[in-house]
A and B are shown apart, each in its own frame.
Chain A
Amino acid sequence: MIRYIRWCAYFCALLLLALLVNIARVQVWESAAYGANPANKRAAIERYAEPRGDILVDGRPVTGSRDSGQLLRYERTYTHGPLYAPVTGFSSQTYGTSFVERAEDAVLSGTDPGLSAFPLWYDLARGRPAGGNAATTVRAAVQRAAYAGLGGKRGAVAALEPATGKILALVSSPSYDPSVLSGTGTQAKGAWTALNEDPARPMLNRALRETYPPGSTFKIVTAAAALDAGVVTDVDAPTRTPDPYPLPGTSTLLPNAATGCEDASMAEAVQWSCNTVMAKIGVQVGLRGMVDAARRFGFNTEGLRVPSWVSRSNFDTDMSLDQLALSSIGQFNTTATPLQMAMVAAAVANGGELASPYLVERTTQDDGSPVRRGDRRSLGRAMNPATALRMQELMVKVVENGTGKNAAIPGAVVGGKTGTAQHGVGNAGTPYAWFISWARTEGAALPAVAVAVVVEDASANRGDISGNGAAAPIARAVMEAALRAKPSA
């Protein structure tokens, strides 16, 4: 019997060995696959176990964290949700993150290796550092002015500091409160459905992600291209343009909304927004010259990130001359994001140098010590410095004695350009009112701000006057706020 007891013992040893091999398989071999299974809630539980770091505007948090007591514990709150939604985006247990919440997620959620001097320590201690903060370049006063200016009308505002590319304001209207998407409950699900089904599309970030035909504001690009290419050497010389202008190769006549455009100079054409003159100049510059100029300003560029991605602004690269003529006045297939048009204004104001726009000034640890600084870089030269000076003069005239008088600010040098973009089949849609501008305090060396404003439901009053009427006052309020705010460090 002794022998058989030994056999039983060996059998039990075999069972034990099978168990040990199997747990080694499960805990080492399969561990990563199990951890990556989307049904495994552990990663999400850990992610939301600590309060999320904050997004700062003017050094003050515009976000917060609320202990929900649920499995995914800390939920996001927003102090001025609709105001900053295009900047912060949302952070939702159910729907993930967007915009700065997404771009800086590693820092905010505490997983960024830069948050700890000794990342290995947290591995050993089985913890992780507290979530860091993301300080934005947005100035609260500028943002509020833009938001209030739009007043709930559909539209968007983008404001930049021309020399650095700092985004001072990013507003999309109508907006929404990202707080409603926090958490996992039916409330969040209902809010998500409602927001997505809302015909006003409140979750669309119009400043970064919607492209509009830029209309007459694009004439700045055309004028700069003409000066750079030497097509126009004297801005005050008559251009011998008929009114209306027959589009090359067609019998279509391009009319003007403004009067006195016949044979006008380029300076007058910009000042009064003459379609005929600028279309003709665009044709004279030629397709290649216009495409190159548009590209230098940032059109046709994929993958611009601020750090959230920005939709591509378009200037067609293969067109007939009549299409080129229409494109040169911001029609046909030419489309631009509000941020792109703010970049156009900023390039003019900054002496032709185009700074890359950016939204996150720096990221810091919980205690304020820096993790990373925002990337201040140049996108290159959009035009010659001499051309930029000419263009500044032309844009100043628009505000002083042209179509953009509503943007004038006492004590400041303001340059601007109005635009009314027609869209829809046969221009059936309501026109978009545009205004792009820049401003500097009299005597100051550097311009403080460049702005692009677009209002979708502009009044039916067609013509450049609607850019002046609907969009310019908003731009003025934004510029005033930027000029008043002390310059950022």
Chain B
Amino acid sequence: MTALTAKVAEPSPPPPPQAGAPKRRGVELALLAGAVLISVLGHLHVGLATTGRIPDPADRYAIGLAAAALLAHLAVRLRAPYADPLVLPIAVLLNGLGLVLIQRLDATTPGHPTADGQLLWSALGVVLFVLVVALLRDHRVLQRYAYLSVATALALMLVPVFFPAVNGAHIWIRFAGLSFQPGEFAKILLAVFFAAYLAANRTALALTGRRLFWKLRLLPGRVLGPILAIWLLSVGLLVLERDLGTSMLFFGLFVIMLFTATGRIGWIAIGLLLAALGAYAVGTFEPHVNSRVDDWLNPFASIERGEGPGQLAQSLFAFGAGGLLGSGLGHGQSFLIGFAAKSDFILATAGEELGLVGLTAILLLYGLLVARGFRAGLALRDPFGRLLATGLASIVALQVFVIAGGVTGLIPLTGMAMPFLAQGGSSVVTNWIIVALLVRLSDCARRPRPAQEAAE
């Protein structure tokens, strides 16, 4: 603990060549207007395509989205004026598109409307975004709560074990009609902990320990302990909760941040080896995971068995049906995927109705968001901030890769939410907090240094 707080008090490293970036808040406002416009037009298009008339809550959707965008923009303008102008508009556009896709899928499942709930969760996410941007004036404060973060994260992850499984996975808490996934919140807390822990111990990780052979060094138990604990935790979680996605995400996040902190390729190799061992063991012995791998290797096996297409086959059919330009919003048949169409498989609807062109645009939006996170990390001057920005950007990147790769048959499918697009309250709220932290980090990265401010 002392090591961590001591880091905060340390003087900043020497200033980078350029001392501050323009604020560009006007650019952000214009981009936000574009994002809201695209989403509202999509909303209207879905209504016209599925029912032949303007959707009923059209004004509510448009005003709500515009108000949320404006509120978030004001918070940034007042409290993080130097923040990267791309981050917030990308988040609004993705969230708006997600609402459009969910509204579109609602049209084919009249018994289970979810768009309104998602709208409420999104609003809550924006409120939390505003609160984080407004109340967290300096990200380095978070460093102080590293151990509290990891304790909370562990508690959050363990709680669902005691709740009944939903669709085969123990990752939900159902309470008073609401359901949420604590694992979603845990990933931010874990990123904070990793960033703080590694920022404090990176010298020890990089240089100390008994030399084994070549450049590989065995770490002292004091430093190695938490790492092994995290690895065991991720595999343990997978077995207990049957949540392949989250454990892969945690593990990947940990390896990436460890590499960033130490620069040791050996750590990556060890990490991948451990991951491969763990994945192989679980993939072989855990039937839930085993069947996922089988589906991935042969998605059409169930058709050949005469049982009809499985979810992954339906997802591939949807992507294939979209082709280059897509069927148009509201004209696809992605509801054939079944019950997870709005959550895990939301990307298939985007692929079918917006086509390769639209899907590429969406993936590039994520790429841009991730790139902006890394850029903030590069520009920041404190190791904790750099690691946190890298970690948060990696969370988004890994999530997108794992779920998009899963539904398109690139890698085995793991249940995970597409950031902002997928239906799911905890996911939307968590991603808004991640975006708030990225806004805060980029604001700090681009802010002129105090010495210069004084000089101006």
Chain A residues engaging chain B, CB cutoff 8 angstroms? 1-9, 11-13, 15-16, 18-20, 22-24, 26-28, 30-35, 37, 39-42, 45, 126
Is the pair B397, A30 in contact by a Cβ cutoff of 8 Å? no
Is the pair B317, A2 in contact by a Cβ cutoff of 8 Å? no
Contact partner of B359 (CB less than 8 A), chosen from A13, A23, A33, A35, is: A23
Is the pair A27, B322 in contact by a Cβ cutoff of 8 Å? yes
Is the pair A27, B356 in contact by a Cβ cutoff of 8 Å? yes
Tally of contact residues, B, Cβ under 8 A: 52
Contact of A20 with B360 at beta-carbon distance under 8 Å, contacts A1-B260, A3-B263 already known: yes
Is the pair A37, B359 in contact by a Cβ cutoff of 8 Å? no
Expressed in whole angstroms, the minimum distance between the Cβ of B324 and any Cβ of chain A is: 6
- Give the top 10 A-B pairs by smallest Cβ distance, nearest first: A34-B320, A12-B397, A9-B374, A27-B356, A31-B320, A15-B401, A39-B303, A22-B410, A39-B309, A4-B260
CB 8 Å contact bits of B398-429 with A (1 = contact, 0 = none) = 10110011001110000000000000000000
Is B100 in contact with chain A by the CB < 8 A criterion?
no
Beta-carbon nearest neighbor of A125 in chain B = B328
Cα–Cα distance between A27 and B322 once the two chains are bound (Å):
7
CB 8 Å contact bits of B321-351 with A (1 = contact, 0 = none) = 1111001100101001000000000000001
List 24 A–B pairs whose Cβ atoms lie within 8 Å, in order of A's numbering.
A4-B259, A5-B386, A8-B374, A8-B390, A8-B393, A9-B393, A11-B256, A12-B374, A16-B364, A16-B367, A16-B401, A18-B410, A19-B400, A20-B363, A23-B356, A27-B320, A27-B324, A31-B321, A34-B321, A37-B300, A39-B309, A40-B309, A40-B317, A42-B336
Q: Which residues of B contact A9 (CB under 8 A)?
A: 370-371, 374, 393
Q: Which residues of B contact A27 (CB under 8 A)?
A: 319-320, 322-324, 351, 355-356, 359
Is the pair B317, A37 in contact by a Cβ cutoff of 8 Å? yes
Contact partner of B300 (CB less than 8 A), chosen from A6, A11, A39, is: A39
Contact of A26 with B374 at beta-carbon distance under 8 Å, contacts A8-B259, A34-B316, A40-B309 already known: no
Expressed in whole angstroms, the minimum distance between the Cβ of A23 and any Cβ of chain B is: 5
Expressed in whole angstroms, the minimum distance between the Cβ of A2 and any Cβ of chain B is: 6
Cα–Cα distance between A12 and B370 once the two chains are bound (Å):
8
Contact partner of A19 (CB less than 8 A), chosen from B261, B333, B404, is: B404
Contact of A23 with B390 at beta-carbon distance under 8 Å, contacts A4-B259, A126-B328 already known: no
Is the pair B320, A22 in contact by a Cβ cutoff of 8 Å? no
Expressed in whole angstroms, the minimum distance between the Cβ of A250 and any Cβ of chain B is: 58
Cα–Cα distance between A7 and B378 once the two chains are bound (Å):
11
Q: Which residues of B contact A24 (CB under 8 A)?
A: 356
Cα–Cα distance between A5 and B324 once the two chains are bound (Å):
34
Q: Which residues of B contact A32 (CB under 8 A)?
A: 320
Q: Which residues of A contact B366 (CB under 8 A)?
A: 16
Is the pair B323, A5 in contact by a Cβ cutoff of 8 Å? no
Expressed in whole angstroms, the minimum distance between the Cβ of A221 and any Cβ of chain B is: 52
Please count the residue pairs between chain A and chain B whose beta carbons lie under 8 angstroms apart in the complex: 138
Cα–Cα distance between A16 and B393 once the two chains are bound (Å):
13
Cα–Cα distance between A12 and B408 once the two chains are bound (Å):
18
Beta-carbon nearest neighbor of A15 in chain B = B401
Cα–Cα distance between A19 and B399 once the two chains are bound (Å):
12
Q: Which residues of B contact A22 (CB under 8 A)?
A: 405, 408-410
Beta-carbon nearest neighbor of B256 in chain A = A8
Expressed in whole angstroms, the minimum distance between the Cβ of B273 and any Cβ of chain A is: 17
Which residues of chain B (283-322) have a CB below 8 Å from chain A?
300, 303, 308-309, 313, 316-317, 319-322
Cα–Cα distance between A41 and B333 once the two chains are bound (Å):
9
A12-B401, A15-B398, A26-B408 known, 20 other contacts, Cβ within 8 Å = A1-B261, A1-B386, A2-B386, A4-B261, A4-B263, A5-B377, A12-B394, A15-B401, A23-B319, A23-B359, A23-B360, A26-B316, A27-B323, A28-B323, A33-B320, A34-B320, A37-B309, A39-B308, A39-B309, A41-B336
Expressed in whole angstroms, the minimum distance between the Cβ of A309 and any Cβ of chain B is: 31
Cα–Cα distance between A49 and B234 once the two chains are bound (Å):
48
Contact partner of B320 (CB less than 8 A), chosen from A2, A11, A35, is: A35
Is B383 in contact with chain A by the CB < 8 A criterion?
yes
Expressed in whole angstroms, the minimum distance between the Cβ of B206 and any Cβ of chain A is: 10
Expressed in whole angstroms, the minimum distance between the Cβ of B231 and any Cβ of chain A is: 19
Q: Which residues of A contact B408 (CB under 8 A)?
A: 19, 22-23, 26
Q: Which residues of A contact B316 (CB under 8 A)?
A: 26, 30, 34
Is the pair B378, A5 in contact by a Cβ cutoff of 8 Å? yes
CB 8 Å contact bits of B78-116 with A (1 = contact, 0 = none) = 000000000000000000000000000000000000000
Is the pair A28, B370 in contact by a Cβ cutoff of 8 Å? no
Beta-carbon nearest neighbor of A26 in chain B = B319
Is the pair A126, B356 in contact by a Cβ cutoff of 8 Å? no
Cα–Cα distance between A23 and B355 once the two chains are bound (Å):
10
Contact of A5 with B308 at beta-carbon distance under 8 Å, contacts A15-B397, A18-B405, A23-B408 already known: no
Expressed in whole angstroms, the minimum distance between the Cβ of A51 and any Cβ of chain B is: 16
Expressed in whole angstroms, the minimum distance between the Cβ of A408 and any Cβ of chain B is: 61
Expressed in whole angstroms, the minimum distance between the Cβ of A207 and any Cβ of chain B is: 38
Cα–Cα distance between A130 and B309 once the two chains are bound (Å):
30
Cα–Cα distance between A126 and B378 once the two chains are bound (Å):
46
Beta-carbon nearest neighbor of B321 in chain A = A42
CB 8 Å contact bits of B235-275 with A (1 = contact, 0 = none) = 00000000000000000000010011101000000000000
Interface-centre pick from A7, A9, A28, A126 (highest chain B CB count, 10 A): A9
Cα–Cα distance between A87 and B259 once the two chains are bound (Å):
76
Is the pair A30, B378 in contact by a Cβ cutoff of 8 Å? no
Beta-carbon nearest neighbor of B359 in chain A = A23
Contact partner of B331 (CB less than 8 A), chosen from A26, A39, A126, is: A126
Cα–Cα distance between A436 and B191 once the two chains are bound (Å):
92
Beta-carbon nearest neighbor of A32 in chain B = B320
Beta-carbon nearest neighbor of B323 in chain A = A31
Q: Which residues of A contact B320 (CB under 8 A)?
A: 26-27, 30-35, 40
Expressed in whole angstroms, the minimum distance between the Cβ of B160 and any Cβ of chain A is: 28
Q: Which residues of A contact B409 (CB under 8 A)?
A: 22, 26
Q: Which residues of A contact B387 (CB under 8 A)?
A: 1
Q: Which residues of A contact B397 (CB under 8 A)?
A: 12, 15-16
Q: Which residues of A contact B309 (CB under 8 A)?
A: 37, 39-40
Is the pair B323, A19 in contact by a Cβ cutoff of 8 Å? no
Is the pair A2, B356 in contact by a Cβ cutoff of 8 Å? no
Cα–Cα distance between A30 and B322 once the two chains are bound (Å):
11
Cα–Cα distance between A31 and B408 once the two chains are bound (Å):
12
Beta-carbon nearest neighbor of B331 in chain A = A126
Expressed in whole angstroms, the minimum distance between the Cβ of A443 and any Cβ of chain B is: 60
Q: Which residues of A contact B390 (CB under 8 A)?
A: 5, 8
Expressed in whole angstroms, the minimum distance between the Cβ of A19 and any Cβ of chain B is: 5
Contact partner of A42 (CB less than 8 A), chosen from B303, B317, B360, B401, is: B317
Beta-carbon nearest neighbor of A31 in chain B = B320
Cα–Cα distance between A4 and B162 once the two chains are bound (Å):
40
Q: Which residues of B contact A18 (CB under 8 A)?
A: 401, 405, 410
Cα–Cα distance between A6 and B260 once the two chains are bound (Å):
9
Beta-carbon nearest neighbor of B367 in chain A = A16
Expressed in whole angstroms, the minimum distance between the Cβ of B171 and any Cβ of chain A is: 23
Is the pair B367, A8 in contact by a Cβ cutoff of 8 Å? no
Q: Which residues of A contact B308 (CB under 8 A)?
A: 39
Beta-carbon nearest neighbor of B263 in chain A = A4
Q: Which residues of B contact A42 (CB under 8 A)?
A: 317, 321, 333, 336
Cα–Cα distance between A286 and B323 once the two chains are bound (Å):
66
Contact partner of B356 (CB less than 8 A), chosen from A6, A28, A39, is: A28
Q: Which residues of B contact A1 (CB under 8 A)?
A: 260-261, 263, 383, 386-387
Q: Which residues of B contact A34 (CB under 8 A)?
A: 316-317, 319-321
Q: Which residues of B contact A20 (CB under 8 A)?
A: 360, 363
Cα–Cα distance between A23 and B401 once the two chains are bound (Å):
12
Is the pair B259, A45 in contact by a Cβ cutoff of 8 Å? no
Beta-carbon nearest neighbor of B261 in chain A = A1
Which residues of chain B (367-381) have a CB below 8 Å from chain A?
367, 370-371, 374, 377-378
Expressed in whole angstroms, the minimum distance between the Cβ of A435 and any Cβ of chain B is: 51
Cα–Cα distance between A18 and B408 once the two chains are bound (Å):
11
Expressed in whole angstroms, the minimum distance between the Cβ of A24 and any Cβ of chain B is: 6
Is the pair B327, A23 in contact by a Cβ cutoff of 8 Å? no
Interface-centre pick from A26, A27, A39, A41 (highest chain B CB count, 10 A): A27
Beta-carbon nearest neighbor of B334 in chain A = A42
